[in-house]
Protein backbone atom coordinates (compact mmCIF):
# COMPACT_ATOMS: atom_id res chain seq x y z
CA UNK A 1 0.00 0.00 0.00
CA UNK A 2 1.30 3.48 -0.82
CA UNK A 3 0.17 6.73 0.74
CA UNK A 4 0.81 9.61 -1.66
CA UNK A 5 1.42 13.10 -0.31
CA UNK A 6 2.61 15.63 -2.82
CA UNK A 7 6.22 14.78 -3.61
CA UNK A 8 6.49 12.33 -0.73
CA UNK A 9 5.38 8.71 -0.82
CA UNK A 10 5.32 6.47 2.25
CA UNK A 11 5.18 2.74 1.55
CA UNK A 12 3.43 0.71 4.24
CA UNK A 13 2.76 -2.95 3.51
CA UNK A 14 1.39 -5.67 5.73
CA UNK A 15 -0.96 -8.60 5.15
CA UNK A 16 -4.21 -9.14 7.01
CA UNK A 17 -3.63 -11.73 9.74
CA UNK A 18 -6.26 -13.73 11.65
CA UNK A 19 -5.93 -13.06 15.37
CA UNK A 20 -4.50 -16.02 17.25
CA UNK A 21 -6.57 -15.13 20.30
CA UNK A 22 -9.79 -14.56 18.38
CA UNK A 23 -11.65 -17.23 20.34
CA UNK A 24 -11.18 -15.11 23.46
CA UNK A 25 -12.09 -11.85 21.75
CA UNK A 26 -15.11 -13.27 19.93
CA UNK A 27 -17.27 -13.95 22.97
CA UNK A 28 -20.09 -11.96 21.41
CA UNK A 29 -19.57 -13.32 17.89
CA UNK A 30 -19.75 -16.76 16.33
CA UNK A 31 -16.20 -18.00 15.53
CA UNK A 32 -17.54 -20.42 12.94
CA UNK A 33 -18.27 -17.45 10.70
CA UNK A 34 -14.53 -16.66 10.59
CA UNK A 35 -13.63 -20.26 9.82
CA UNK A 36 -16.30 -20.48 7.14
CA UNK A 37 -15.06 -17.30 5.48
CA UNK A 38 -11.49 -18.56 5.38
CA UNK A 39 -12.53 -22.00 4.10
CA UNK A 40 -14.64 -20.50 1.33
CA UNK A 41 -11.68 -18.38 0.27
CA UNK A 42 -9.24 -21.28 0.41
CA UNK A 43 -11.48 -23.59 -1.61
CA UNK A 44 -12.56 -21.02 -4.17
CA UNK A 45 -11.48 -21.67 -7.74
CA UNK A 46 -12.25 -18.10 -8.78
CA UNK A 47 -9.14 -16.17 -9.83
CA UNK A 48 -10.49 -12.97 -8.27
CA UNK A 49 -10.76 -12.30 -4.55
CA UNK A 50 -14.07 -10.51 -5.15
CA UNK A 51 -15.65 -12.51 -7.99
CA UNK A 52 -19.03 -10.73 -7.87
CA UNK A 53 -19.96 -7.03 -7.66
CA UNK A 54 -20.87 -6.20 -4.07
CA UNK A 55 -23.32 -3.41 -4.92
CA UNK A 56 -25.75 -5.82 -6.54
CA UNK A 57 -25.63 -8.35 -3.73
CA UNK A 58 -25.93 -6.30 -0.55
CA UNK A 59 -29.02 -4.91 1.19
CA UNK A 60 -29.88 -1.23 1.18
CA UNK A 61 -29.35 0.46 4.54
CA UNK A 62 -32.29 1.45 6.70
CA UNK A 63 -33.81 4.87 5.94
CA UNK A 64 -32.45 6.37 9.17
CA UNK A 65 -28.94 5.25 8.22
CA UNK A 66 -29.30 6.80 4.76
CA UNK A 67 -30.39 10.04 6.42
CA UNK A 68 -27.35 9.91 8.71
CA UNK A 69 -25.00 9.30 5.76
CA UNK A 70 -26.53 12.30 3.98
CA UNK A 71 -25.69 14.38 7.06
CA UNK A 72 -22.07 13.25 7.59
CA UNK A 73 -21.05 12.71 3.95
CA UNK A 74 -23.61 14.19 1.52
CA UNK A 75 -21.60 13.23 -1.56
CA UNK A 76 -21.74 9.56 -0.56
CA UNK A 77 -25.51 9.65 -0.07
CA UNK A 78 -26.14 10.68 -3.66
CA UNK A 79 -25.99 7.01 -4.67
CA UNK A 80 -27.35 3.81 -3.17
CA UNK A 81 -25.92 3.03 0.27
CA UNK A 82 -25.35 -0.68 0.90
CA UNK A 83 -24.71 -2.29 4.27
CA UNK A 84 -22.15 -5.02 4.88
CA UNK A 85 -23.60 -7.37 7.52
CA UNK A 86 -21.17 -9.00 9.96
CA UNK A 87 -21.08 -12.32 8.10
CA UNK A 88 -20.41 -10.59 4.77
CA UNK A 89 -17.74 -8.26 6.12
CA UNK A 90 -15.86 -11.21 7.61
CA UNK A 91 -15.89 -12.86 4.20
CA UNK A 92 -14.78 -9.60 2.57
CA UNK A 93 -11.66 -9.56 4.76
CA UNK A 94 -11.29 -13.35 5.04
CA UNK A 95 -10.79 -13.96 1.32
CA UNK A 96 -8.03 -11.33 0.97
CA UNK A 97 -6.37 -12.65 4.15
CA UNK A 98 -5.96 -16.04 2.48
CA UNK A 99 -4.64 -14.31 -0.65
CA UNK A 100 -2.05 -12.38 1.39
CA UNK A 101 -3.60 -8.94 0.87
CA UNK A 102 -3.30 -6.01 3.27
CA UNK A 103 -6.38 -4.28 4.65
CA UNK A 104 -5.69 -1.17 2.57
CA UNK A 105 -5.52 -3.39 -0.53
CA UNK A 106 -9.08 -4.41 0.35
CA UNK A 107 -10.49 -0.95 1.04
CA UNK A 108 -8.86 0.64 -2.03
CA UNK A 109 -9.86 -2.18 -4.36
CA UNK A 110 -11.96 -1.23 -7.36
CA UNK A 111 -14.93 -3.06 -5.83
CA UNK A 112 -15.20 -0.17 -3.35
CA UNK A 113 -15.22 2.35 -6.17
CA UNK A 114 -18.41 0.90 -7.63
CA UNK A 115 -21.32 3.32 -8.16
CA UNK A 116 -22.62 2.91 -4.61
CA UNK A 117 -21.53 3.59 -1.02
CA UNK A 118 -20.71 0.81 1.44
CA UNK A 119 -21.60 1.23 5.10
CA UNK A 120 -19.66 -0.64 7.81
CA UNK A 121 -21.55 -0.47 11.11
CA UNK A 122 -19.93 -0.40 14.56
CA UNK A 123 -20.91 -4.05 15.03
CA UNK A 124 -19.41 -5.12 11.71
CA UNK A 125 -16.19 -3.28 12.50
CA UNK A 126 -15.98 -4.93 15.91
CA UNK A 127 -16.33 -8.32 14.23
CA UNK A 128 -13.47 -7.54 11.83
CA UNK A 129 -11.25 -6.21 14.62
CA UNK A 130 -11.90 -9.29 16.75
CA UNK A 131 -11.06 -11.65 13.90
CA UNK A 132 -8.11 -10.02 12.14
CA UNK A 133 -4.98 -7.99 12.78
CA UNK A 134 -5.22 -5.14 10.26
CA UNK A 135 -2.43 -2.89 8.94
CA UNK A 136 -4.43 0.28 9.54
CA UNK A 137 -3.18 3.60 10.92
CA UNK A 138 -6.81 4.29 11.74
CA UNK A 139 -7.27 1.36 14.08
CA UNK A 140 -10.78 0.11 14.80
CA UNK A 141 -10.39 -0.06 18.58
CA UNK A 142 -7.66 0.80 21.02
CA UNK A 143 -6.50 2.82 23.99
CA UNK A 144 -5.05 6.31 23.78
CA UNK A 145 -1.87 7.39 25.56
CA UNK A 146 -3.93 8.27 28.64
CA UNK A 147 -5.33 4.74 28.83
CA UNK A 148 -8.81 5.71 27.63
CA UNK A 149 -10.67 3.45 25.21
CA UNK A 150 -11.63 4.69 21.75
CA UNK A 151 -13.51 3.05 18.90
CA UNK A 152 -14.41 3.49 15.26
CA UNK A 153 -18.18 3.92 15.07
CA UNK A 154 -18.65 3.63 11.30
CA UNK A 155 -16.77 3.47 8.02
CA UNK A 156 -18.08 4.61 4.64
CA UNK A 157 -16.40 3.52 1.41
CA UNK A 158 -17.35 4.49 -2.11
CA UNK A 159 -16.92 6.86 -5.02
CA UNK A 160 -13.16 6.93 -4.49
CA UNK A 161 -13.31 7.93 -0.84
CA UNK A 162 -13.06 6.43 2.65
CA UNK A 163 -14.67 8.22 5.59
CA UNK A 164 -13.77 6.90 9.05
CA UNK A 165 -15.75 8.07 12.10
CA UNK A 166 -14.68 7.76 15.75
CA UNK A 167 -16.52 8.11 19.04
CA UNK A 168 -14.53 11.24 20.00
CA UNK A 169 -12.03 13.80 18.75
CA UNK A 170 -8.34 14.38 19.45
CA UNK A 171 -7.32 10.74 19.97
CA UNK A 172 -3.56 10.33 20.49
CA UNK A 173 -2.40 6.72 20.49
CA UNK A 174 0.70 4.62 19.95
CA UNK A 175 0.58 2.21 17.02
CA UNK A 176 2.99 -0.50 18.15
CA UNK A 177 2.80 -2.28 14.79
CA UNK A 178 4.10 0.84 13.02
CA UNK A 179 6.18 2.05 16.03
CA UNK A 180 4.73 5.55 15.77
CA UNK A 181 2.30 7.90 17.51
CA UNK A 182 -0.82 9.03 15.65
CA UNK A 183 -3.48 11.63 16.35
CA UNK A 184 -7.00 10.98 15.07
CA UNK A 185 -9.84 13.42 14.60
CA UNK A 186 -13.40 12.21 15.08
CA UNK A 187 -13.58 12.14 11.27
CA UNK A 188 -10.74 10.92 9.07
CA UNK A 189 -10.97 10.98 5.27
CA UNK A 190 -8.93 9.38 2.52
CA UNK A 191 -9.21 9.47 -1.24
CA UNK A 192 -8.72 6.13 -3.01
CA UNK A 193 -7.80 6.98 -6.61
CA UNK A 194 -6.31 3.57 -7.42
CA UNK A 195 -5.76 0.10 -5.97
CA UNK A 196 -3.42 0.24 -2.98
CA UNK A 197 -3.21 4.05 -2.96
CA UNK A 198 -4.50 6.52 -0.37
CA UNK A 199 -4.34 10.25 -1.08
CA UNK A 200 -5.40 13.63 0.34
CA UNK A 201 -5.63 12.36 3.92
CA UNK A 202 -7.52 14.60 6.34
CA UNK A 203 -7.99 14.31 10.09
CA UNK A 204 -4.89 12.18 10.74
CA UNK A 205 -1.58 13.31 12.21
CA UNK A 206 1.63 11.27 12.24
CA UNK A 207 4.45 11.95 14.68
CA UNK A 208 7.97 11.64 13.33
CA UNK A 209 10.30 13.96 15.27
CA UNK A 210 7.31 16.23 15.88
CA UNK A 211 3.61 16.35 14.99
CA UNK A 212 3.14 16.82 11.25
CA UNK A 213 0.29 16.61 8.75
CA UNK A 214 -2.32 17.51 11.35
CA UNK A 215 -5.98 18.58 11.13
CA UNK A 216 -7.06 19.04 7.52
CA UNK A 217 -3.58 19.05 5.97
CA UNK A 218 -2.78 16.26 3.49
CA UNK A 219 -0.53 13.49 4.84
Using alpha carbons, select from 139, 155, 132 the residue that is nearest to residue 15: 132
Q: How many CB atoms lie within 10 A of CB 10?
A: 12
- Rounded to two decimals, the pTM is 0.75
Amino acid 23: pLDDT: 41
- According to DSSP, the residues that pair with 173 across neighbouring strands are 182
30 pLDDT above the threshold of 70: no
Using alpha carbons, select from 10, 16, 8 the residue that is nearest to residue 134: 16
DSSP strands (E only) in 52-170: 81-83, 117-120, 132-133, 141-143, 149-158, 161-166
Query: How far is residue 148's CA from residue 150's CA, in Å, rounded to a whole number?
Result: 7
**Beta carbons of 205 and 218 less than 8 angstroms apart:** no
Q: What is the pLDDT of residues 112-157, one digit of tens each?
A: 888 899 999 999 999 999 998 887 889 999 999 999 999 999 999 9
Of 16 and 95, more confident:
95
Q: How many CB atoms lie within 10 A of CB 135?
A: 20
Of how many residues is the chain composed?
219
**pLDDT over 70 percentage in the chain:** 72
**Beta carbons of 90 and 37 less than 8 angstroms apart:** yes
Using alpha carbons, select from 111, 105, 171 the residue that is nearest to residue 140: 171
Across the range 38-64, mean pLDDT stands at 67
11 pLDDT above the threshold of 90: no
The domain ranges of the chain are 2-17+30-39+54-212
Q: By CB neighbour count within 10 A (0-12 exposed, 13-18 middle, 19+ buried), where does 13 fall?
A: exposed
Query: How far is residue 74's CA from residue 213's CA, in Å, rounded to a whole number?
Result: 25
N-terminal to C-terminal alpha carbon distance within the chain: 14
Query: How far is residue 15's CA from residue 95's CA, in Å, rounded to a whole number?
Result: 12
**Beta carbons of 201 and 188 less than 8 angstroms apart:** yes
What is the largest distance, in Å, between two alpha-carbon atoms of the chain?
A: 48
Helix/strand number for the chain, H first, E second:
6, 13
Of 41 and 145, more confident:
145
φ and ψ at residue 175, rounded to 5 degrees = -90, 100
Amino acid sequence: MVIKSGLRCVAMVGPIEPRRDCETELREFNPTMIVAALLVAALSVEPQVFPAPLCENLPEVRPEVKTWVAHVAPELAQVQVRELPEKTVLDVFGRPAVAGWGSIDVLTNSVFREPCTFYFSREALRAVDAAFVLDLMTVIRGQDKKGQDFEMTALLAGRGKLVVLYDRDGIVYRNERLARDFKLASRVEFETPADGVLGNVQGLCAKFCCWVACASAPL
